[in-house]
Amino acid sequence: MTIKIDAASIKQIFPRAPQEVIDAFASKQAALDAAGITHTRTRLTDFFANIDHECAGFALKGLTENINYTAARMAAVWPNRFKNSAAVVAKYGSAPGWQKRAFDDIYGNRMGNRPGTHDGSTYIGRGGPQWTGRDGYVALAQRTGLPAVETPDVATNLDKQPEVCAAFWAWKNLNPKADVGDFTGLVKIWNGGTNGLAERKANAARIAPIVARMEGSPPTARPPVDVYAAATRKERAGVAAAAAATVTTSIGATSPQPALPKVASVVGIGFGIVAMVAAIVLIARKKQAVLANWL
């Protein structure tokens, strides 16, 4: 079983969304089920909260990023690139189309965009999650079968938003962050920083009670082993690395001609043990968090 999505709840979550989007989410639960988003209320809440921020609850015009910046706005968004609006004008001019030239430059050679092309202004934010960059559109195409690379606007199709949004969540592998309650970490993966974090958190606080009232439950009574494993992957790797380093140091300290002075070996072993214990404690805490969020 999973958390059941219904049109009335979607309307409450996204009150400004077009009816076609609401109907799509109500009828295409399978897209979210496949990504594991509907397995817990925490995942579903975080999913909706971030989409609400990214596309203004599907009210964003054309579900497409507006790149018609003023020079002042561009300087404010990228202060490390431009001292002021005059610097923007000096670099890109003010003739029609200057914003596209700017985006081609700023986003060129990033996110899979090819330098010297118009990828920067072509693969701008679209859809509920605001897919951005050529790499993102390639991933969208691979995960949904939509011709997103050749026809980027397909990401804005209202009836395709469940697939478009679920594909983004799966591509970014956001379930583990939601499972341990790391909302800030989830946002950082979503957009590369903490842009709009306060609003996203406020969205989650508003949406959580709506999701809590939805029928259904996780597909299993307790989190499966793979869910725990995904949530603690980093810490388990740390335990393994610390254990290997400790063993290597121990062997060196007890060899006929130790590679390290005895004192240094003891210190190294001590640090390795501390690192292992710290990682083990974090693993235990994350497992507790996963269990608490499995509802």
DSSP letter string over 213-282?
Answer: TSS---SSSS--HHHHHHHTHHHHHHHHHHHHHHHHHHHHHHSSS-SS-HHHHHHHHHHHHHHHHHHHHH
Does pLDDT of 17 surpass 80? yes
Count of C-beta atoms within a 10 Å radius of residue 31 = 22
pLDDT digits (tens, 9 = 90+) for 207-262: 999 999 999 999 999 999 999 999 999 999 888 887 777 666 655 555 565 555 65
Residues 6 or more apart whose CB falls under 8 angstroms from that of 253 comprise 260, 262, 265, 266, 269
Mean pLDDT, to the nearest integer, of 76-90? 95
* Residue located via tokens 């990228």: 78
Q: Are 119 and 105 in contact (CB under 8 A)?
A: no
Q: pLDDT band at residue 139, thresholds of 50, 70 and 90?
A: very high
pLDDT digits (tens, 9 = 90+) for 255-287: 565 555 655 565 556 666 777 788 899 999 999
Query: Rounded to whole angstroms, what are the CA distances from 156 to 153, 163, 234?
Result: 5, 11, 35
Task: Give the angle 110-112-114 at the CA atoms, nearest 5°.
Answer: 80
pLDDT digits (tens, 9 = 90+) for 152-164: 999 999 999 999 9
Mean pLDDT, to the nearest integer, of 167-193? 97
Q: Are 294 and 223 in contact (CB under 8 A)?
A: yes
Q: Are 182 and 161 in contact (CB under 8 A)?
A: no
pLDDT the model gives residue 153: 98
Count of C-beta atoms within a 10 Å radius of residue 243 = 15
Q: Which percentage of the chain shows pLDDT scores above 70?
A: 91
Mean pLDDT, to the nearest integer, of 20-39? 98
Does pLDDT of 205 surpass 90? yes
Mean pLDDT, to the nearest integer, of 107-122? 94
Q: Are 139 and 171 in contact (CB under 8 A)?
A: yes
**Higher confidence at residue 89 or residue 250?**
89
pLDDT the model gives residue 239: 83
Mean pLDDT, to the nearest integer, of 190-218? 96
pLDDT the model gives residue 261: 64
Mean pLDDT, to the nearest integer, of 125-142? 98
Does pLDDT of 144 surpass 60? yes
Phi, psi dihedral angles at 61 (to 5 degrees): -55, 120
Mean pLDDT, to the nearest integer, of 136-164? 98
3-class secondary-structure state, position 141: helix
Does pLDDT of 198 surpass 60? yes
Does pLDDT of 76 surpass 70? yes
Give the DSSP letter string of 52-83: HHHHTTTTSGGGB------HHHHHHH-TTT-S
pLDDT the model gives residue 279: 83
pLDDT the model gives residue 184: 98
